[in-house]
Amino acid sequence: MTDPRAPEQIAPDALTETEARAELERLAAAMEAADRAYHQEDAPRITDAEYDAMKARNAAIEARFPELKRADSPSDRVGAAPAEGFGKIRHRVPMLSLANAFEEEDVADFLGSVRRFLGMDAGAPLAILAEPKIDGLSLSLRYEDGKLVEAATRGDGTTGEDVTRNALTVDDIPKTLPGGAPAVLEVRGEVYMSHADFAALNARQEQAWRDEQAHRRAAAEAKGKVYEPTGAPRTFANPRNAAAGSLRQLDPTITAQRPLRFFAYSWGELSAPLGKTQEEALATLRALGFTTNDRATRCESLADMMAVWTGIEADRAELGYDVDGVVYKVDDLGLQQRLGFRSSTPRWAVAHKLSAQTATTVLEGIDIQVGRTGALSPVARLRPVTVGGVVVSNATLHNEDYIAGRGSDGEPIREGRDLRIGDHVTVYRAGDVIPKVLDVDLTRRAAGAEPWTPPTVCPVCGSHAVREEGEAVRRCTGGLICSAQAVERLKHFVSRNAFDIEGLGAKQVEAFHTLGWIAEPADIFALEKTHGPGTMQKVANLEGWGEKSAAKLFAAIDARRAIPLERLIFGLGIRHVGETTAKMLARAYGTWEEFDAAMEAAGADLSARRAALAAHAAAPEDTRPKKPEMPETPAWDALLGIDGVGEVLAVSVVEFFAEDRNRAAVARLVAHLDVQEAEKIAAEGSPVLGKTVVFTGTLEKLTRAEAKAGAESRGAKVSGSVSKKTDILVAGEAAGSKLKKAQELGVQVMTEDEWIALIGG
Ligand code: IVH
């Protein structure tokens, strides 16, 4: 009888010979595909555990049927783990490093020591070739009879790694040389990656990662589970790492897909000289098919050398690849020979480093990021430049004043220089700090460059973006409908003092939002409807959920359809509207309908009030009345007449409701709710009406919540801290600093019993 199952489901020791052969073939193909995905596409398709399971199964089948072992058996292949490494190559001429110079004085010292060593007069002519110092990794290429036979990394300078097969894949590296090349020629230079290629490679790495995540997500969802993203894209920190990582690949087919380049600038063993000077030698190398750097410049003096350095520093951002210094080399190769070497550096050359922590580049744009609280932050989009070893393409611009050249108190920064798109700017980065735009070079500003103007609408949701008096940040008013703010707002909406939906905490809100199930509060109440009768089952299938918890969640949502007005107002997450304010508003207006109508009326007058405020601010100081003359707006008067409601709060609330999309989102929410009328303020006759009360110390008869509710229901405002505005301090047992402060301020202090007596039990 044949086994009805597919061979892959049968245990190795139960397979027939035919099935075993088929299985070995399937496993070889599957593992080869997995290897390719892992090594060449940098996008693993299966987990390490799945790979290991296949390997184990393959080995078990081979152990049972050794005669069936394939020539291309995966057991003989290097699997997911990297192999031992590269072969070693001993450099016939050591690969040395360079001494560093940091300042002009160091460069002058270099010239002085060269002349002294050679017995030249201080002013004697001395030609120097200045070359950019490429920030990549050095490579030595050995040609014999015009054929590339060996390529080696620098290693420890004496012995390097054999990367010949990888070097053969780099376009800039000739594989054969034209006739006339020395029979033995070791060409040395730098392998590097251009900024553009680096950015594209990282983008590909990210895409590969996203594809892999999508693949895994699909697999998880097919099993009815929610997929949590894992790991991170394998991107490189900077072009040098990318170049090194790409060259030092055990599999040269990966190197072949990486955009590596090579500049030749030096040599090792030679059977015939390349010229009389460094400049001539570079020309010979070019004639042989190598690429040399076109910024190499012959210098006759210290001033010439400094001019090259300054020029390269200034053009750093435009070169398109990383440089970290300028190498000055004595041009005459005969003199180089005489100068020779110290223990590890040549006497005939020095590397003049470029400044490490700042770089100049072009401000290509100003992007606006919207934070969770709706704050708009400007971010500089820069032409990529390496600062301190990391490619920087974004930097913070703090806020719009910073761009305008003003500090937080209106004082000038950068001597008042503003930043404009297209400007050449200095970028600073140190350690892990977020890069900053420090300064601007006005001499390089384009004639038509316009000052930057902040956006008046949110780039994410299109709602008005406003900057309040005295605030440094501009904020999006799109609260509920702005996706940048949505998740945080939703978390607030379900929080304990707002809708308090059991089973729907911050984590669940995140998950449901990611799934696209809830984007605004109304969606929570429509969850069951929108997602059909199977919604409960869908929730139950999510990781961390079961049937019971899903059923509970829907019951908890239903339980909150009846909601006190104050919780609704607080839950909307309007700026400046805390729990106490929400309560005050609820009590002042009583019903949702009344509150809603009042906000609509106040909103209609918003622009008239704004115009009046602006006119007041614009009037000359000596003629300006103390208070702006406001248009008559009964809705505002009522709002501002509420005890504890000031201008800032009023504007914030009215603005929220004046945004059409907020109103619509609130209307969608309220349609699901039965908003309960607020408890009217027990106004008349209350001895504490309008008073501000602070409770401190341990209360014996009342819980804090009771004390607060009792005071508020009698028209008092409860505060957490003592100030001049405090009317009564109720001091319990072991009252401390608040009691002291109240006494200092002459605030009325009473015991818990006195308080109870005052409010009438
Ligand atoms: S000449 C005897 N020229 O800088 C040393 N080196 O810090 C001859 N480098 O290992 C080196 N650009 O990787 C030279 N134009 C250039 C260079 C350069 C980059 C690197 C090279 C070297 C390191 C020394």
Convert the pLDDT of each residue in 243-293 to its tens digit.
999 999 888 899 999 999 999 999 999 999 999 999 999 999 999 999 999
SS3 523: helix
For ligand 1, say whether the CB of 98 is within 6 Å of any of its atoms. yes
Q: Does 192 sit in the ligand 1 pocket, CB within 6 Å?
A: no
* Predicted pLDDT at 4: 64
CB atoms within 10 A of CB 516: 8
Q: Out of 90-94, 176-180, 414-418, 428-432, pick the least confident.
A: 428-432
Name the residue with higher pLDDT: 286 or 14: 286
Query: How many whole angstroms separate alpha carbon 666 and alpha carbon 478?
Result: 12
List the residue whose alpha carbon is closest to atom 1 of ligand 1: 266
Whole-number average pLDDT of the chain: 87
Would the pTM count as exceeding 0.75? Answer: no
358 within ligand 1 shell (Cβ under 6 A): no
As to burial, measured by CB atoms within 10 angstroms (0-12 exposed, 13-18 middle, 19+ buried), residue 107 is buried
pLDDT at 48: 60
Q: Which residue has the tokens 């590909």?
A: 204
Tell me, yes or no, if 147 is annotated catalytic. no
The pLDDT, as a whole number, for residue 545 is 86
Alpha helices in 175-232 (DSSP H): 195-222
Question: Which residues are within 8 A (CB) of 687 and not within 5 positions of it... i.e. 6 or more apart?
Answer: 714, 758, 759
Model confidence at 74, in pLDDT bands (50, 70, 90)?
confident
Band the pLDDT of 197: cuts 50, 70, 90.
Answer: very high
**Parallel, antiparallel, or unpaired for β 748-750 and 728-731?**
parallel
Over residues 594-643, the pLDDT tens digits come to 999 999 999 988 888 888 888 888 888 777 777 777 777 788 888 887 77
| Residues contacting residue 580 through CB under 8 Å, at least 6 positions apart | 644, 717, 718
**Ligand 1 in contact with 136 (CB < 6 A)?**
no
* Nearest CA-CA partner of 298 in 322, 281, 319, 273: 281
Greater model confidence, 134 or 11? 134
What integer pLDDT is reported at residue 526 of this predicted model? 92
Identify the residue whose C-alpha is closest to ligand 1 atom 17.
Answer: 133
Distance CA 331, CA 283 (A): 13
Of the residues 55, 69, 88, 133, only one is catalytic, namely 133
Separation of alpha carbons 208 and 239, rounded Å: 19
Ligand 1 pocket mutation, candidates 100, 190, 247, 321, criterion most atoms within 8 A of CB: 190
The pLDDT assigned to 36 comes to: 65
Tokens (6 digits) for 400: 């719009």
Q: Which of 217-231, 267-281, 422-436 has the lowest mean pLDDT?
A: 217-231
Q: How far is the CA of 129 from the centre of ligand 1 (A)?
A: 13
Of 482 and 164, which is predicted with more confidence? 164
User: Ligand 1 pocket, 322 CB below 6 A?
Assistant: no
Paired tokens of 694: 């602070």
Asked whether 327 lines ligand 1 (CB < 6 A), one says yes
Structure tokens of 650? 């009023």
- pLDDT over 50 (residue 754): yes
The Å distance, Cα 152 to ligand 1 centre, comes to: 15
Q: Whose CA is nearest to atom 6 of ligand 1?
A: 133
The answer, yes or no, to whether any atom of ligand 1 lies below 6 A from the CB of 347, is: no
Confidence tier at 120 by pLDDT (50, 70, 90): very high
Q: Which residue CA neighbors atom 2 of ligand 1 most closely?
A: 96
pLDDT at 389: 64
pLDDT at 79: 37
What is the 243 CA–ligand 1 centroid distance (Å)? 16
Mean pLDDT of 368-373: 81
Give residue 3's pLDDT.
Answer: 53
Ligand 1 lined by 495 (C-beta under 6 Å): no
- Distance, in Å, from the CA atom of 619 to the CA atom of 66, rounded to the nearest integer, reads 97
Could you give all domains of the chain from N- to C-terminal order, each with its CATH number?
Answer: 7-76 (1.10.287.610), 88-195+240-353 (3.30.470.30), 196-238 (no CATH), 566-676 (1.10.150.20), 692-759 (3.40.50.10190)
Q: Is the pLDDT of residue 40 over 70?
A: no
DSSP H or E segment with residue 67: none
Residue nearest to atom 9 of ligand 1 (CA): 133
**Atom 24 in ligand 1: residue holding the nearest Cα:** 97
131 Cβ contact list (under 8 Å, min separation 6): 265, 293, 295, 296, 297, 326, 327, 329
- Where helices occur in 605-703 by DSSP H, the ranges are 606-618, 634-641, 647-658, 660-670
Q: Please answer whether residues 531 and 538 qualify as being in contact, where contact means their C-beta atoms are separated by less than 8 angstroms.
A: yes
Please report, in angstroms and rounded to a whole number, the separation of the first and last CA atoms in the chain.
90
